[in-house]
């Protein structure tokens, strides 16, 4: 009998990767949760074999039919969607900041997912609960970085699961998705910058010695989740495709595409110039924390595939760069 994985946010970057990975595996069925099953991405997934269920993470009752007979649940919640919504319509925040609004929304959604997963009917078949996490920045920085709300919301959700839903926690493993290599598509300053002489500069406020765990999210999230499904519960995997410094990434980019490029460290003021204040506040803290403490913050529970004694097929930076569309940059 085929096993069933339920993918939260199946049309997103992480969720679609998980769906595609398990669609290729014999003996697995994929059910995807989305707010808009009639959308083009959802419809494409449906033609590929994903069973679509319309559900709203703010409405836990809508999740019960989605979780029926699930053997695995991949739980992935989004801080930045409510953050962007609040930036566009501050009246929806109810008097709190846009950061607090997004934080509370994500914690509520993550807790709703876990609460429904903890129901006796779901637990009858549930073997693994895989949660997409981030570092507990406040804890691992000793309180220095207390305003990294998109890290804090996931850390609070994990605490809620462990404290309120122990049966789910017993089945839970975590994948800590690292630095999206595609972030430049959402923030142009992250892309290589073309110069008048035709060469390029990659600028960052980070030091050139910082080792960055890059992840090709749309390709490699699925293999990370598959690895955790195959392992006993209680694992915390660092979801990284390849680690390197920003100068090394720039060198790889230039050699792969045949362009001259240099890395340049710039001040926070120069790098974030023109970026909305709310976005700058969130992301500048992110860069500063990972620059100082590393992406995991030094959390000893977070392990690489090598430390777990497994091999996971991942996309190299050269492979990603070669296959990416850089027409908007070059």
Give the C-alpha separation, 19 to 15, whole Å: 6
pLDDT digits 0-9 by tens, 156-207: 999 999 999 999 999 999 999 999 999 999 999 999 999 999 999 999 999 9
Give the C-alpha separation, 125 to 127, whole Å: 6
Give the C-alpha separation, 132 to 79, whole Å: 12
- Residue 213: the pLDDT is 97
pLDDT category at 235 given cuts 50, 70, 90 is: very high
Statement: residue 124 has pLDDT above 90: yes
Strands 28-34 and 236-239 come out as unpaired
State the pTM of this model: 0.96
Residues 6+ apart with CB under 8 A from 74: 5, 6, 7, 8, 14, 15, 18, 130, 132, 225
For the residues of 209-273, what is the DSSP string, one character each? T-EEEEE-HHHHHHHHHHHHHHSPSS-EEEE-SEEEEHHHHHHHHHHHHT--EEEEE--HHHHTT
- Residue 86: the pLDDT is 94
Mean local confidence (pLDDT), 112-126: 98
Give the C-alpha separation, 254 to 251, whole Å: 5
pLDDT digits 0-9 by tens, 66-84: 999 999 999 999 999 999 9
Q: Which H or E run contains 307? A: helix 305-308
Mean local confidence (pLDDT), 34-52: 96
| pLDDT, the chain, mean | 96
Residues 6+ apart with CB under 8 A from 65: 53, 55
- Residue 146: the pLDDT is 87
Do residues 55 and 66 make contact, with C-beta atoms less than 8 angstroms apart? yes
Give the C-alpha separation, 319 to 330, whole Å: 18
């Amino acid at each position: 009998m085929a096993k069933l994985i339920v993918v939260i946010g199946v049309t997103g970057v992480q969720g679609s990767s998980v769906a595609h990975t398990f669609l290729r595996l014999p003996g697995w069925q994929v059910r995807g949760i989305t707010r808009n099953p009639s959308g083009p991405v959802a419809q494409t997934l449906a033609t590929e074999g994903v069973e679509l269920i319309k559900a709203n993470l703010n409405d836990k009752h809508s999740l019960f039919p989605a979780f029926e007979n699930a053997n695995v649940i991949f739980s992935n919640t989004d801080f930045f969607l409510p953050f962007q919504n609040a930036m566009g319509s501050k009246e929806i925040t109810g008097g709190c900041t846009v950061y607090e609004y997004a934080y509370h929304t994500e914690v509520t959604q993550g807790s709703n997912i876990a609460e429904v997963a903890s129901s006796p009917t779901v637990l009858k078949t549930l073997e693994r609960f895989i949660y997409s996490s981030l570092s507990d920045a406040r804890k691992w920085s000793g309180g220095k970085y207390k305003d990294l709300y998109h890290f804090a919301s996931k850390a609070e959700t994990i605490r809620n699961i462990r404290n309120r839903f122990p049966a789910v926690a017993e089945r839970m493993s975590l994948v800590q998705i690292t630095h999206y290599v595609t972030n430049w598509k959402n923030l142009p300053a992250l892309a290589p910058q073309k110069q008048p002489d035709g060469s390029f500069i990659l600028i960052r406020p980070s030091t050139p010695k910082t080792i960055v765990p890059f992840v090709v999210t749309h390709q490699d999230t699925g293999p990370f989740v598959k690895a955790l499904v195959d392992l006993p519960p209680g694992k915390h995997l660092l979801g990284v495709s390849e680690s390197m410094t920003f100068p090394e990434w720039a060198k790889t980019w230039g050699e792969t595409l045949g362009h001259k490029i240099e890395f340049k460290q710039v001040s926070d003021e120069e790098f974030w110039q023109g970026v909305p204040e709310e976005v700058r506040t969130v992301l500048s803290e992110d860069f500063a924390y990972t620059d100082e403490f590393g992406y995991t913050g030094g959390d000893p529970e977070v392990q690489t595939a090598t430390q777990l004694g497994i091999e996971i097929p991942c996309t190299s930076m050269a492979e990603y760069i070669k296959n990416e569309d850089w027409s908007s940059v070059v």
